[in-house]
């Protein structure tokens, strides 16, 4: 049976779940269009440009009949929340150490590369097993698909009130991948919502970005502001960042379904220990070449150096220790205007606290 063979192959590649659904438009398409109309996508204009395809997989691949949805677990973070942190008093030769927070999913080699290699192998297997006329097109988070909604219809998990997918057997901490194919695969039974009355994720969001259950305003989301947004971080949200420099796990971390989360077996070898608690002062001193060498094959490469420095300046402003003032002043003088503005804000933050 083709479906069984694909699942066995997926399991052998390290995927934690593999489910199937048909290629009809997802039921959440109308909700997605309304979300766009409200402007909740912020500066992610590509979502508007690709909206027709996202609302109908049949526009993505001619003659598509089925979709294969897979997940790959990653390790859960060690702590709850991602606010202001001062971890340890010193690092190195008596130097104070202030550490930044990197979202748990980004503490590995770039997941697009890891999952892409595995999805290509699974797609190749599908085509060989299903016959010479079979086509397959795969995506990891970059294709014009509503993967979360397709995955719920395939029975892989359900959309939580924080708008992320939850697997009842694994919680929040996994990546999603999709394969579109013209092979006919028997659809799995959709998963039902299991959030019940729980609204811990709404209460945990530092900026109130989850406007209502299942409604996220990306313009307030700290993950969006630290990763996707390319401009100045709005001042009203800067103190909310704490020491976050890439993403925010708060709404995921508080989810009670994480009691079933598992440590990643596949991604263990790809872990980057230097991203668990990176030193903010060291990061602010990174040159362009050093940035590319250190982060070139991680999700942080997406920020580019200026984006990382922007975030680090805000984090140091929130730490509010006078000993970083000289470094921030040096950064302000020599950096791009956007970084300089955030360094200037950080200096003001520190000096205002000193005067109290």
User: pLDDT for 44-78, tens place per residue?
Assistant: 999 999 999 999 999 999 999 999 999 999 876 65
The more confident residue out of 136 and 266 is 136
User: pLDDT for 299-337, tens place per residue?
Assistant: 999 999 999 999 999 999 999 899 999 999 999 998 899
Flag whether pLDDT at 82 surpasses 50. Answer: no
Residues 243-257 have a mean pLDDT of 96
Flag whether pLDDT at 84 surpasses 50. Answer: no
331 exposure class (CB count in 10 Å sphere: 0-12, 13-18, 19+): buried
Q: Which of 219, 213, 218, 216 is nearest to 200 (CA)?
A: 213
157 exposure class (CB count in 10 Å sphere: 0-12, 13-18, 19+): buried
Flag whether pLDDT at 293 surpasses 60. Answer: yes
pTM exceeds 0.85 for this model:
yes
Q: Quick one: CA torsion of 94, 278, 324, 329, rounded to 10 degrees?
A: 140
Q: How many domains does the chain have?
A: 1
Residues 166-188 have a mean pLDDT of 96
Mean of the per-residue pLDDT values for the chain? 92
Kindly list the catalytic residues.
141
Q: Which domain holds residue 88?
A: 2-354
User: pLDDT for 89-124, tens place per residue?
Assistant: 333 344 456 899 999 999 999 999 999 999 999 999
Residues 15-24 have a mean pLDDT of 97
CB 251 within 8 A of CB 201: yes
Q: Which of 43, 78, 66 is nearest to 137 (CA)?
A: 66
Flag whether pLDDT at 86 surpasses 80. Answer: no
Give the per-residue pLDDT at 354.
75
- Alpha carbon distances (Å) from 230 to 192, 226, 234, 303, 317: 36, 8, 11, 9, 19
User: pLDDT for 130-165, tens place per residue?
Assistant: 999 999 999 999 899 999 999 999 999 999 999 999
Q: Of 24-28, 84-88, 168-172, 175-179, give the lowest mean pLDDT range.
A: 84-88
Residues 199-205 have a mean pLDDT of 98
What residues contact 233, with CB distance under 8 A and at least 6 apart? 225, 226, 241, 310, 311, 314, 342
Which residue has 């440590």 as its token pair? 263
């Amino acid at each position: 049976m083709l479906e069984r063979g694909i699942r066995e192959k997926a399991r052998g590649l390290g995927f934690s779940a593999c489910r199937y659904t048909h290629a009809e438009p997802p039921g959440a398409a109308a909700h997605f269009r309304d979300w766009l109309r409200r402007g909740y996508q912020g500066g992610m204009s590509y979502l508007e440009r690709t909206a027709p395809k996202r609302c109908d997989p049949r526009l993505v691949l001619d003659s598509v009949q089925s979709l294969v949805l897979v997940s790959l677990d990653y390790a859960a973070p060690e702590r709850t929340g991602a606010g202001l942190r001062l971890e340890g008093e010193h690092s190195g030769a008596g130097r104070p150490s202030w550490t930044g927070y990197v979202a748990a999913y980004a503490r590995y080699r770039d997941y697009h590369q890891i999952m892409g290699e595995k999805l290509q192998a699974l797609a190749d297997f599908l085509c060989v097993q299903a016959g010479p006329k079979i086509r397959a097109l795969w995506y990891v988070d970059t294709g014009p698909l509503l993967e979360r909604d397709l995955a719920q219809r395939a029975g892989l998990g359900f959309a939580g009130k924080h708008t992320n997918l939850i697997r009842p057997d694994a919680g929040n901490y996994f990546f999603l991948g999709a394969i579109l194919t013209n092979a006919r695969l028997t659809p799995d039974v959709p998963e039902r919502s299991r959030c019940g009355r729980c609204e811990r994720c709404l209460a945990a969001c530092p900026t109130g970005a989850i406007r209502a259950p299942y409604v996220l305003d990306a313009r307030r989301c700290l993950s969006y502001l630290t990763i996707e947004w390319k401009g100045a971080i709005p001042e009203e949200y800067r103190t909310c960042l704490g020491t976050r420099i890439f993403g925010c796990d708060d709404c995921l971390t508080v989810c009670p379904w994480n009691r079933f989360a598992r440590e990643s077996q596949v991604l263990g070898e790809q872990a980057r220990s230097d991203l668990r608690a990176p030193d903010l002062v060291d990061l602010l001193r990174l040159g362009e070449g050093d940035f590319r060498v250190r982060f070139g094959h991680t999700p942080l490469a997406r920020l580019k150096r200026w984006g990382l420095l922007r975030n680090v300046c805000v984090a140091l402003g929130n730490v509010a220790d006078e000993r970083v003032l000289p470094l921030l002043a040096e950064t302000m003088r020599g950096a791009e205007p956007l970084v300089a503005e955030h360094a200037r804000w950080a200096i003001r933050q520190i000096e205002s606290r000193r005067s109290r």
